[in-house]
Amino acid sequence: MSNRKLPPPWLAAARCAHSLLWVLPVLFWLGCSTGSTTAPHDNPGGQDAGCVEPPSEGGSDAGVPADVLSPSRQLRRAALALRGTPPTDEEYAAQEAAGDEAAQRAYVSAFVDQTLQQPAFYRTLFETARDWFNIPPVGPSADPPEYGLQQQRSIVRCADGTPKAGAWKYFRGDEKACQGQKPDGTPAEERSLEPWWAPGTTAVLVGYAASVAATGQTYDASGFPVTVTCATAGPIANCGCGPAAVRCHADTGSYPGWEDYGLHNPQGQRRLVAEEPARLFAHLGWHDRPMTDLILGSYSVGPTRLQAAYVMQGLAGELTYLLDDDSWWRPSRFANAPVDPEHSQGDPTAWREYSVPARNPFFLEERDYRYDPRTQSTAMRGIPAAGMLTSLGFLSAFTRERVRGARALEMLACEELSPPQGQEFNEYRRDPGTEGPCQHCHRRVDPAAIHFKRYAKIGHGFEGHGATYPMPGVGTVWHWPARWRTSEYPYHTDPFIHWNRWYMPDTLLTPITQAQAEANPEAVFIDFLPPEQNLLGQVSDGTVGPLGFAKLIVASGSFDRCVVRHLHAQVMGRDIDPAKEAGYLEDQVARFIEGGRKVRPFVKSLTQSSLFQRGL
């Protein structure tokens, strides 16, 4: 259903034109963009903004346009639009038994109301958003199944026949643990606990995984031993899995990492992070929340295994108190959280609502947080949570700020970024936003991309652990000596070389002076739009990060128009041409906003429109 080919806009317009011209041959054809003679609030029945026919002058069909679909075809159209499957034989029979044509059309309206409350409608919203956003899974960082993101160490069960059969141990680096021994032959540590991945059960950890020591030992690049603090360093070397084993992830597959890596596994973390934005869209529609929460809200949805990724990101920033927080994995703590209709409340696998700042406090609850690295020397507290724009799937799938900005404009503002035709530009020297042919797009992309700087990836994942995702300039961890600007070892790899190449002072993406950059190298991470720039005609209020971007596209009206167009395409089978049907689009947007930006009232109004009933 979600992949069906939509009729081209010109075909729908042609049909609409034909139906008008045979009634009103003396009028010029102005298309569906002319707008209605009544404002949306004067039109409670959900009639269209354009292409409205006068009723017939008499006869048994008076008041019904000649090309209105039969009741059975209207039922079929409604079923396909709202749930992706045609009506059943029983539904056709019930419609036929309803009585005359008026009763059968009333059956369609009742069918729409009923379907909007069924789990199939949630599934339709999810599939619509999944195709719309088209967010890829987090890419491999080495050979599959290495993709990073988890920031937890892989543990596996000891095999049957070993002294510690059934106990959990580190997959690598503790070869004698299942024999109950340390590498030196002394007895290995053992610990029983309630694990985060299986609440209500007891798991036995053995060997290094069971360690509760405050410090551990690892080795630097030269092979020399280094003492680390386990609470902040994570489960490296001989540090343990921590309380409830939250620093580790349990692997039950044939090879560690595959069950989380493979997209065939609906509970695999790699798939979950890619689906989160689309699931949030469906959640908002299902629970009648305003659609602006998709990018302005501080909450999201996700099962336990997805929320673990956010907790690990907070722990990577040394917020060690998260080790003792069980609100994300103990069912009694989230028993009342709103969930998707396909699961029950309290189910750890349900797509349940959660506060993003509660899982990773570096994503702030504050809605107006401002931070200017040109004038402030203290560490940044974080960036405000911004719905899908601060989801780990969105940020990790698009690893560069300009790609994030471009995709966010395309997805959420329906911007079309096309190359120029037949234009001449000034010579390119150092700033693609103001020089060379690339400025055609970069003048639009860079004011968006500036909001997406403070998230990156360092290193390669190995069995769930190894890759880290710094938020530069935030907290106490993600800072480096000024030497990082030289790209010399150990700053000779990504993301440092990227930052050094593209975060140059006096450019559209980095609007600071050279003196400011020299005084504070972290000033290059400026991530709000200064007042001398604008995005879609809007001037920023100074809010940093993706939330600052979200505020701008909402204020411009682009977000509302974009959501309306995609919902219209799902229900009506075609997009709205913003150039040729401007009046029609604005009337639909006004109806959407009047309905609280909620999906169900707007979808209902579309199914009541004359265009829907006529198959246009």
DSSP letter string over 171-188?
SSS-TTGGGTB-TTSSBP
| Rg of the chain over all Cα atoms, to the nearest angstrom | 28
**Exposed (0-12), middle (13-18) or buried (19+): which is 182, by Cβ within 10 Å?**
middle
pLDDT at 48: 53
d(CA 395, CA 530): 23
Instruction: For residues 178 and 161, give the distance between their C-alpha atoms in angstroms, rounded to a whole number.
Output: 10
Regions of the chain where pLDDT drops below 50 = 1-47, 49-64
Residue 300, SS3 per DSSP = strand
Give the whole-angstrom CA distance, residue 313 versus residue 562: 32
- Report DSSP state, residue 474: B
CA 564 to CA 270: how far, in whole Å?
Answer: 30
Token output for 264: 């065939």
Query: Three-state SS for 228?
Result: strand
How many CB atoms are closer than 10 A to CB 136? 10
pLDDT at 40: 38
The structure's pTM equals 0.89
- The DSSP code for 365 is S
| Residue 107 in tokens | 């059956």
Instruction: State the Cα angle at 321 between 199 and 236, rounded to 5°.
Output: 80
What pLDDT score was predicted for residue 30?
36
Q: d(Cα 417, Cα 413) in Å, to the nearest integer? A: 11
Contacts of 533 (CB under 8 A, 6+ apart): 447, 508, 511, 540
C-alpha of 215 from chain center: 37
What is the model's pLDDT at position 338?
Answer: 98
Can you tell me the distance from the alpha carbon of 560 to that of 586, in angstroms, rounded to the nearest whole number? 10
**Residues 82, 87, 93, 95, Cα dihedral to 10°:** 20
Question: Can you say how many angstroms the Cα of residue 606 is from the centroid of all Cα atoms in its chain?
Answer: 26
Residue type, 206: V
Instruction: Count CA atoms within 13 Å of residue 200 on its CB side.
Output: 7
Q: Which residue has the tokens 């809605």?
A: 367
Q: Which two tokens stand for residue 176?
A: 């004698």
Residue whose C-alpha is closest to residue 438's, from 419, 414, 415: 419
Query: Cα(307)–Cα(327) distance, rounded to whole angstroms?
Result: 10
Tokens of 35: 């707008």
pLDDT score, position 61: 39
Give the dihedral sign, CA 215/317/402/436. Answer: negative
- Give the torsion through C-alpha atoms of 573, 576, 580, 586, to 10 deg: 140
Residue 326 pLDDT: 97
